[in-house]
């Protein structure tokens, strides 16, 4: 056994040292490409998916959204609840919002929109509205009779027809807002934000107190939603568990749960893409690797026959082919990783833009990378083993002279 391994190693190292260098380099390059193909497309999709996730978590929904139970218009004792929430480990910040449907009118034009009453000081830790102001300023603690509009609400000079909104109102314009409860009020546009997606840019924001007045709940400690931000992505389900454990009775949704409702189709397409690119990558990897090493081994039939004739065991020969193909695979993985690194760095510097405001870079998914690594190694093992096994079973003279 040990002798077989040793001889296998000697044979493999001889082949690699003295065999056709071009074949070796070519094989390694092809394997590198297979590796990249396997890993890169999912990384792209992953990066693209990241935008959607950010869109979700950075504006309207946060990491976790807490809403009143059905049949209850509001969360009650919102401040007590907020205290409870912020005490949970993993929670970075939380804020309350009020929300109301409304129609916003300017001149002849009108749009339906959700208006959120927010606490500007707290929002800065939760959402990115104020980071993406296209013009004007964000709300302050003192903001009364002031509104900031999403880009799709205001409309934009030269923007797409479908998203004309109010046809391009600018900062300082007075707009009319008719809330769904019938209350009408005029607001001065303080600024316009542009997060780049429908999820963020179809809403409008006013001060929390402003909406309290409109809804008639001043000083009652009520809220429509509580938005929670966790300090890292991924722990949302645990935080939710903890909140339930602490007796929060309201409806709690992590962004992962919310995204299913909001971006259902997009997410389905993404997971389909990821799965299919993975499967295709895997099939290509297995097939090409197998074929290359198979052909390589079958071309070595004569040598294998000679080795058997002089008393070299079949096991040694099989080991040598396995060593070789695993060597190729490792070479391919190393080369592939280097190329991949450059690709990732390149795209980090030069993100891919789509629409105007969104851009992304590929993000390597550890799972897929490990999967690619393992499947390349395992495949190379069998791609070494199977043809060698088939050839060593042939009669010696047939291997040597092909008859």
Contacts to another protein by CB under 8 A: 3, 6-7, 10-11, 14-15, 18-19, 302-303, 306-314, 316, 395-397, 400
Q: Report the candidate in 99, 110, 100 with the shortest Cα–Cα distance to residue 175.
A: 110
State residue 229 phi and psi, 5-degree precision: -115, 125
Residue closer to another protein by CB (options 23, 130) is 23
Beta strand 184-193 with 225-230 is unpaired
Q: Are 95 and 122 in contact (CB under 8 A)?
A: yes
Q: How far is the CB of 9 from another protein (least distance, A)?
A: 10
CB of 396 to another protein, least distance (A): 5
Task: Pick between residue 22 and residue 232 the one whose CB is nearest to another protein.
Answer: 22
Q: Which is nearer to another protein, 103 or 313 (CB)?
A: 313
Given the complex with another protein, which of 19 and 90 has the nearer CB atom?
19
Nearest CA-CA partner of 104 in 166, 194, 193, 167? 166
Nearest distance from C-beta of residue 385 to another protein, angstroms: 18
Reduced to 3 states (helix: H, G, I; strand: E, B; else coil), residue 61 is coil
Q: How far is the CB of 19 from another protein (least distance, A)?
A: 5
Nearest approach, Cβ of 289 to another protein (angstroms)?
21
- Could you tell me the smallest distance in angstroms from the CB atom of residue 377 to another protein? 24
Lookup: tokens for 16: 């690699």
Q: Minimum CB separation from another protein for residue 391, in Å?
A: 14
DSSP state of 185: E
**Contact call for residues 100 and 212 (beta carbons, < 8 A):** no
* CB neighbour list of residue 88: distance below 8 Å, 6 or more residues apart: 239, 242, 243, 246
Residue written as token pair 């008719």: 178
31/39 Cα distance (integer angstroms)? 12
- What does the block give as tokens for 134? 């296209």
Q: Give the DSSP H/E element, type plus range, for residue 96.
A: strand 91-106
Minimum distance of another protein from residue 297's CB (angstroms): 13
Between 283 and 397, name the residue whose CB sits nearer to another protein.
397
User: How many angstroms separate the CA atoms of 302 and 401, rounded?
Assistant: 7
Cross-strand pairs, 179: 102
- Which residue's CB is nearer to another protein, number 238 or number 394? 394
**Residue 102 or 388 with smaller CB distance to another protein:** 388
**229 vs 308, beta carbon nearer another protein:** 308
Q: Which is nearer to another protein, 234 or 395 (CB)?
A: 395
Terminal CA-CA length for the chain? 31
Q: Is 165 left (phi over 0), alpha (psi -120 to 50) or beta?
A: left
Cβ neighbors of 299 (< 8 A, separation 6 or more) are: none
Please, what is the minimum distance in Å from the beta carbon of residue 20 to another protein? Answer: 9
Nearest Cα to 288, choosing from 244, 247, 332? 332
């Amino acid at each position: 056994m040990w002798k077989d391994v040793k001889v296998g190693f000697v044979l493999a190292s001889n082949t690699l040292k003295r065999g056709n260098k071009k074949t070796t380099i070519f094989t390694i390059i092809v394997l590198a490409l297979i590796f990249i193909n396997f890993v890169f497309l999912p990384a792209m999709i992953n990066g693209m998916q990241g935008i959607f996730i950010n869109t979700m978590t950075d504006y309207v929904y946060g990491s976790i959204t807490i809403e009143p139970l059905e049949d209850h218009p509001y969360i009650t004792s919102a401040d007590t609840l907020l205290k409870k929430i912020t005490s949970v480990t993993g929670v970075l910040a939380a804020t309350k919002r009020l929300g109301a449907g409304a129609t916003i009118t300017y001149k002849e034009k009108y749009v339906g929109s959700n208006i959120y009453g927010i606490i500007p000081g707290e929002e800065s830790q939760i959402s990115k509205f104020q980071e993406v102001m296209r013009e004007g300023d964000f709300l302050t603690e003192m903001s009364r009779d002031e509104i900031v509009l999403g880009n799709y609400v205001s409309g934009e000079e030269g923007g797409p027809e479908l998203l004309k909104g109010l046809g391009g109102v600018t900062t300082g314009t007075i707009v009319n807002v008719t809330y769904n409860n019938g209350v009408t009020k005029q607001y001065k546009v303080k600024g316009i934000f542009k997060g780049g997606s429908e999820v963020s840019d179809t809403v409008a924001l006013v001060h929390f107190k402003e909406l309290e007045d409109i809804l008639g709940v001043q000083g009652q400690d009520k809220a429509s939603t509580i938005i929670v931000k966790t300090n890292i992505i991924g722990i949302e389900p645990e935080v939710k568990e903890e909140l339930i454990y602490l007796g929060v009775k309201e409806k709690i949704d992590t962004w992962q749960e919310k995204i299913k409702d909001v971006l259902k189709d997009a997410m389905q397409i993404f997971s389909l893409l990821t799965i299919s690119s993975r499967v295709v990558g895997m099939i290509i990897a297995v097939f090409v690797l197998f074929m290359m090493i198979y052909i390589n081994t079958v071309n070595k039939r004569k040598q294998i026959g000679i080795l058997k004739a002089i008393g070299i065991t079949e096991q040694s020969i099989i080991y040598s082919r396995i060593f070789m193909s695993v060597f190729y695979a490792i070479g391919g993985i190393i080369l592939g990783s280097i190329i991949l690194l450059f690709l990732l760095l390149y795209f980090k510097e030069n993100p891919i833009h789509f629409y105007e405001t969104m851009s992304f870079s590929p993000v390597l998914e550890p799972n897929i990378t490990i999967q690619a690594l393992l499947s390349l190694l395992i495949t190379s093992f069998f791609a070494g083993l199977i043809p060698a096994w088939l050839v060593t079973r042939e009669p010696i003279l047939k291997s040597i002279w092909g008859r």
